[in-house]
Amino acid sequence: MRKRSSTILISIIFVSFLLCCIIYPVDSQGNAEISRKRNLNLHELQRNMNIDAFRLRNCQFLEMQRTMNADVLRTRNMQLLEMAVLPQDYAVNITDLLTKDEWGNIISDFLRGEIIQFEAIIVNTGKIWLENGLISIVISDPSAEPVMLAYYFGTIKSGEIHQCIFGWRIPFSSAAGVYTAKVMIFTNWPSKGGVGLTFKQVQFRVS
């Protein structure tokens, strides 16, 4: 009986050993194949998806960015040009330019050492304001050499009448003869892109 039991036990152990030998290679091979296939599939799909998505996204981004920037830039430039005020759009004029003495009398003959006033009347008949416009005066001696420059920045509203007065004491060393005073209006300094809008001049005699 014991011998028979031992034989059965050995048989069970042998069968178990055979089963282990058979299952292990299959299981190992199956795992290897499954792992390899999954890795390959995952690698290939991941690679293709990344490359395609990256290329498409880049192309779309560049095309949209380039087109949108160009359109916006062109539109903004056109709008800025349309909104910019051109010199011919202004309607600013100097209607009067008078020479007066220090008591306000209108005269044109002065002596050295006296004070002369230049009174200019500026009218804006247009619909556009002149904002921070440059209003200046230049006085030239009989040889056309500038001897005095004065200026200020002022705003002249639409429909406004603007009065400006410049004063100058005639130096005792001044040459006798006919002088010229010229009042000019600019949108800004010419060196900064300012444009001349109008001017008016008057002459007076110094003796």
Q: In what order do the strands lie in the sheet with 109-110?
A: 109-110, 196-206, 177-186, 130-140, 146-156
The predicted structure's pLDDT at residue 106: 97
How does pLDDT run across 2-15, given as a tens digit for each residue?
A: 555 555 656 666 55
Residue 139 and residue 177 in one domain:
yes
Classify 197 as helix, strand or coil: strand
How does pLDDT run across 41-63, given as a tens digit for each residue?
A: 443 434 444 444 334 344 443 34
- Nearest Cα neighbor of 163 from 104, 118, 100 is 118
Residue 175 and residue 201 in one domain:
yes
Q: How far apart are CA 192 and CA 133, in angstroms?
A: 13
Antiparallel, parallel or unpaired: β 196-206 and 109-110: parallel
The count of structural domains within the chain is: 2
Residue 74 and residue 117 in one domain:
no
Q: How far apart are CA 203 and CA 36, in angstroms?
A: 103
Residue 139 and residue 201 in one domain:
yes
